Amino acid sequence: MTQAAESIVEVKEAVKRFPAPEGGVVTALDSISLKVQQGQFVTLLGPSGCGKTTLLRTISGFEDLDSGAVLIGGESVLGVPPYRRPVNTVFQNYALFPHLSVSGNVVYGLEVAGIKKTERDHRLKEALERVGLSGFERRKPAQLSGGQQQRVALARAIINQPKLLLLDEPLSALDRNLRQSMQLELKSLQHDLGICFLFVTHDQEEALTMSDQVVVLNQGRIEQIGPPDLLYHKPATRFVAEFIGDSAIFSGRIQNTEASPVLVTEDGLGIPVGRGPKPGDHATLIIRPENLSLAPPNPDDSVSILDAVLEQSVFRGATHQYVCVLPNGTSISATPTGADDEAFSRVSPGDSVQLAFRRNIPHLIIESQ
Amino acid sequence: MASKRDTRRLIALLTPGTLFLGIFFLGPLAVMVIFSFLTPGLYGGVEWNFYHWNYGRILGWADGDWEEFDPVYAQIFFRSVRLAFTNVLITLLICYPAALWVSGLSVRWRTFVVFIITLPFFVSLVVRLFCWVLILRPSGFLNTTLLGLGVISEPIDIIFTETAVLIGMAYILLPFMFLPLYASIEKLDYSLLEASSDLGANPFQTFLRVTLPSTLPGIAAGAVLVFIPSLGNFIVPDLLGGAKVLMIGNLVEQQFLSARNWPFGSALSVMIMLVMFLAIVIYLRRIGRSEIVR
């Protein structure tokens, strides 16, 4: 089977501009191209105003594109109104009908489609069981908690068996604990149903927890598409590295010394990096806190050393976070584990430390030559 | 739990209003109810004897005479209810699309339109209704225009008909339907309409299943606000209905001012109040409660 046949949604060169309130235009979608495969959990991740909700709304049909195309199941949906599109949405504020009961809300889509009552009842029961709301049929939305309303919104969407379920920051109104349990539930629901979920969020943790594929958006452009671990370990751009996870980021120019290439930042900090970049390259080095530890007594070529001063250590439950300051004043965090954590915990704040990272682990983005 | 101080403040704040209504509303109301059970005096006024045939007369049996059944007053009564109800429908059909349209305008235009709609209140009701007399009479604006355009060959009889009364009543009561409707349509959560569309409902289904039920409180409030003044109105039928379209309001006016039969006039007023009371009870039980739940 070819890739095109499998993709449930395809966005081609989508461009959307809005008039800005202060005059001029805002480009919400700047030539976005995207393919979503059957049965995947795909997350659109980005800061507010990056165009992720606009992209979702062009798929659900509430926004038109200025140029480009949206294909659902291989067919262009240009000019097709939302109510004729085989997708359903879970809205950010849930948008439950306040005058209808839970069952009235959930069977809404089946009623307007003219599905027979016996089948409606059957599917209602199934959908409510799936989201764990059996017994709540006759309640009004106002009589439900936020988490329960969330479940009604989910049931109302999945009962229609859409080809694609769109979720617009559905967890943002829930408190932290509930949000985390809903993340896992959503993930298993998606797995059970086997339909594609397209999930919009600005929360990187949410994106990493649930997704098969994450699409990182910034200022209307796609920064990177990939599975969560790829985004975390091999961010394609500085933006992705900054947005996903904690990291210390150094940008500079590569200079060759006798031993290995060294990244020299604008303020003169030199960091030895592994092989790969050529002298004169602009490069960005991303060091995750968990990749840093104290330097061993006799370091070999495989590790790079950074001189620093320990500023403070913060208890983080399973580990400590050691906040250090580099000679150029940049602060950098280390969260070593096991024996490395123990060794680090013997250092007192104010002491000089040698931070080490394995050269093959940190990620180097080579931006230009 | 309200503290003693709160209670005292509450009493202080409520006393003026309660006293005013008690003296100037409940007092006269009690007098009216009592009068409606008294014997009409020969030359006006009342005789202090219990007499329930004022109500009998409304139903068609006057002065205890079971033989003679003449439901003329009952007919006027039902005509009034029918006209008031028709008027509710007319104003609703005019105002709902208008309110939908206005709520879609920008804030500045919305404010302006709402101001325009309340503007007629600045002019005396009688003056405004007299304009309708000038428009609707045989040699009036409507007929001369239609004759001039050749639409009709003879002046149409519109003044002193039920149509004229309905036009006049709809005209004066439109704002009372529009404002509550507009308030409730403006509050309508736009995301509900999107959700409906997302779930496969076409615009017509969305209107029937979401827009209309969500704005029901506004419809009900407007209906009550139009129904009650329509039912008791006597100026409009007086000016535009002439002697032909007598409504219950005119009857009350006549009984008090011309016939000087205060007990019968009181009985009619009590009947009007009962019907209005019924309308409000239906409103509170059917719609008012759902609003509280929200």
Task: Please write the tens of the pLDDT for every residue from B47-98.
Answer: 888 888 888 888 887 766 677 788 888 889 899 999 999 999 999 999 999 9
A25-37 and A7-19: which strand pairing?
Answer: antiparallel
CB B106 within 8 A of CB B145: no
Which run of H or E residues covers position A112?
Answer: helix A108-112
What is the per-residue pLDDT for A269? 82
* A95–B192 CB contact, under 8 Å: yes
B286 at interface of A, judged by CB pairs closer than 8 A? no
Range of the domain at B202: 73-293
Q: Is the dihedral of CA B227, B229, B233, B237 positive or negative?
A: negative
Per the CB < 8 A criterion, the answer to whether A197 and A38 are in contact is: no
Which residues of chain A from 132 to 161 reach within 8 Å of chain B, CB to CB? 140, 142, 156-157, 160
B213-235 residue pLDDT tens: 999 889 999 999 999 999 988 88
Residue-level pLDDT at A87? 94
CA distances from A164 to A189, A269, A333 (A): 13, 49, 41
A134 Cα to chain B: minimum distance (Å): 21
In the predicted model, is pLDDT for residue B293 greater than 70? no
Q: Which two tokens stand for residue A72?
A: 């659902």
- Nearest-Cα distance to chain A for B134, in Å, is 47
Mean pLDDT value across residues B262-271: 91
Helix, strand, coil shares of chain A, percent, nearest 5, are: 30, 35, 35
Residues of A in contact with B290 (CB under 8 A): 99
At A239-296, the pLDDT tens digits run 999 898 888 888 888 887 666 788 888 877 888 887 677 777 888 888 888 888 888 8
Quick one: DSSP state of residue A259? Answer: S
State both tokens at A32: 């976005």
CB A156, CB A108: distance < 8 Å:
yes
B50 belongs to a structural domain? no
Q: Which residues of B touch A91 (CB under 8 A)?
A: 191, 194-195, 198
Q: CA-nearest residue of chain A to B204? A: A112
pLDDT above 70 for B194: yes
- Does B150 reach chain A within 8 Å, measured CB to CB? no
Q: How many domains does chain B have?
A: 1
CATH number for the domain harbouring residue B232? 1.10.3720.10
| Report for B50-64, B196-210, B268-282: range of highest mean pLDDT | B196-210
Contact assignment for B201 to A95 by CB distance below 8 Å: no
Interface of B with A in 78-117 (CB under 8 A): none
CA distance A2 to B180: 58
The torsion angles phi and psi of A264, rounded to 5 degrees, stand at -110, 120
Q: Does A109 touch chain B (CB under 8 A)?
A: yes
Asked if B214's CB is within 8 angstroms of A109's CB, the reply is: no
Phi then psi for residue A284, to 5 deg, are -125, 125
Rounded to the nearest angstrom, the minimum Cα separation between B204 and chain A is 11
Residue B81 lies in a domain: yes
Report if residue B108 sits inside a domain: yes
| Average pLDDT estimate for B155-181 | 92
| Interface touch A99/B213, C-beta < 8 Å | yes
How crowded is residue A366: how many other Cβ atoms within 10 Å of its Cβ?
A: 13
Interval A77-116: pLDDT, tens: 988 999 999 999 999 999 999 999 999 999 999 999 999 9
Q: Nearest residue of A to residue B189 by CA position?
A: A95
> In terms of DSSP bridges, do strands A196-201 and A41-45 run parallel, antiparallel, or are they unpaired?
parallel
Please judge whether A156 and B199 are an interchain contact, meaning their C-beta atoms are less than 8 angstroms apart. yes
Least confident of A151-160, B31-40, B157-166, B237-246: B237-246
Supply angle C-alpha A360, A269, A337, rounded to 5. 45
Q: What is the pLDDT of residues B5-16, one digit of tens each?
A: 888 898 899 999
Residue A144 has pLDDT above 60, yes or no: yes
Average pLDDT, chain A: 88
Find chain B residues with C-beta within 8 A of A60's C-beta: 198
Write out pLDDT tens, residues A61-76.
999 999 999 999 889 9
Q: What is the complex's ipTM, to 2 decimals?
A: 0.83
Residue B142 lies in a domain: yes
**HEC per residue, B229-281:** HHHHCCHHHHHHHCCCCCCHHHHHHHHHHCCCCHHHHHHHHHHHHHHHHHHHH
Structure tokens at A171: 């967890």
Across the interface, of A88, A97, A142, the residue whose CB is closest to B198 is: A88
Residues whose CB falls within 8 Å of the CB of residue A289, separated by 6 or more in sequence, listed in order: A246, A247, A248, A321, A333, A334, A335
In whole angstroms, give the CA distance from residue B54 to residue B263. 7
**Closest to B294 (Cβ–Cβ): which among A62, A87, A98?**
A98
**Structural domain contains residue B43:** no
Q: Are B81 and B278 in contact (CB under 8 A)?
A: no
Mean pLDDT of the region B166-194: 93
**Would you call A113 and B293 a contact, using CB atoms and an 8 Å cutoff?**
no
User: Is B60 part of a structural domain of the chain?
Assistant: no
Buried b (16+ CB within 10 A) or exposed e, A214-223: bbbbbebbbb
Find, among B261, B277, B271, the residue nearest to B80 by Cα.
B271
pLDDT at B292 over 50: no
Evaluate whether residue B49 is within a structural domain: no
Is A165's pLDDT higher than 90?
yes
Give domain status of residue B67, yes or no.
Answer: no
Name the percent of chain A lying above pLDDT 90.
48
